[in-house]
Amino acid sequence: MLLKRYTGNLLLVILLFLMLAFFFLGDVFIPKAVDFSGYPMLHSVFVVFLGLFLESIPFLFLGAIASSFIQLFISEEIIQRMIPKRPLTAIFAAIGAALIIPVCECAIIPVVRKLIQKGVPVHAGVVLLVTAPILNVIVFGSTYYAFQNNPAILYGRIILCVLTAIIAGLFIHIFSTKDVVKEDKMELVHGDEHDIQSSKWTSFMEHTSQEFFMVGRYFIIGALFASVFQVFMDRSVMADIGQAPIKGTALMMGIAFVLSLCSSADAFVAASFSHSFLPGSLLGFLVFGPMLDLKNVLIMMSCFKRSFVVTYVLLVFAVVFSLCLIAGGLISKGGF
């Protein structure tokens, strides 16, 4: 037990050191250590993967910290007093909470898992999963800047996010079970025995390191696949179907899923497609991507039971796809 605890903490310190080295020295030493001169496509995959890694790892770490804080310092009684009893009220409370939770689409998953374990209703947790990556100031600002000449995209992104959260939350409340979280396999000791063996700070570090590495390994797999897709994707094929509302929306949602971009920067990528795709298709990219992408589905599989993940994926896809088709029609008629 002690060996695992100290090993986890040591690995966490080493990873933090490597992150700082990447940020400050990566552009100097990486090209010398790894020669990709004869393999330009492999070099591109490495660069894209490193970008995804450095962009997302700090937020994953933040999510692990938040999850550990909830586990050790927030009791079930406190959370239950904060939750509105009525389902619809709980949904709107979760939407409000998403505005102040400083985590991205990857980091929110372990946080929601821990909240559900502490007593938050599953439908309220789903609302947080849907809204937290989109309803924040950074995403508002990047979307506005990327689509200054088309503010309907910004308004549409916010409105469709909220509508998706309400519909998905109500559906999960009616049809889903409460038992959706995978059994926590992290070897944490509670009660008096834990108080004797370690302090709160040691326990906090232990939980954070275990949570981080459990989620991080799934993230790395997803980021690797996303990097390969970004490099080898043929954009000329996409332009041929970009003006078809149904096919274009489905394609852009699929691209958003595989690219696995951070929601704070995906608006600039969406803007690069604006000449080839209709507004509804662009909204599919901007709304669906932060809610579901390759790397966070793998993370969800590590935190929630498979049946719940499948239900969540199909539900979010169906709701976002339908809303984007409606929004695209409204925008084309000047309704937004």
State the pLDDT at residue 187: 42
* CA 244 to chain CA centroid, nearest Å: 28
Three-state SS sequence of 220-260: HHHHHHHHHHHHHCCHHHHHCCCCCHHHHHHHHHHHHHHHC
User: If DSSP codes are grouped into helix, strand and coil, which group holds residue 181?
Assistant: strand
Cβ-contact 287, 164 below 8 angstroms: yes
Q: What is the pLDDT along the chain (336 residues), one digit of tens a residue?
A: 445 555 555 655 665 566 556 555 555 555 555 555 566 777 777 777 777 677 666 766 766 776 677 667 766 566 667 778 788 899 999 898 888 765 666 678 888 888 888 888 999 999 999 998 898 777 888 888 889 888 999 999 999 999 999 999 999 999 877 788 887 655 444 444 444 345 667 777 776 777 677 666 666 766 677 677 767 766 666 667 777 889 999 999 998 898 777 777 788 778 877 877 899 999 999 999 999 988 888 889 888 999 999 999 999 999 999 999 999 999 888 766
State the pLDDT at residue 218: 60
Cβ-contact 202, 123 below 8 angstroms: no
State the pLDDT at residue 91: 92
The secondary structure of residue 292, as a DSSP letter, is -
Instruction: Say how many C-beta atoms besides its own lie within 10 A of residue 7's C-beta.
Output: 11
DSSP string, 111-175: HHHHHHHTT--HHHHHHHHHHTTTSSHHHHHHHHHHTTT-HHHHHHHHHHHHHHHHHHHHHHHHH
State the pLDDT at residue 185: 53
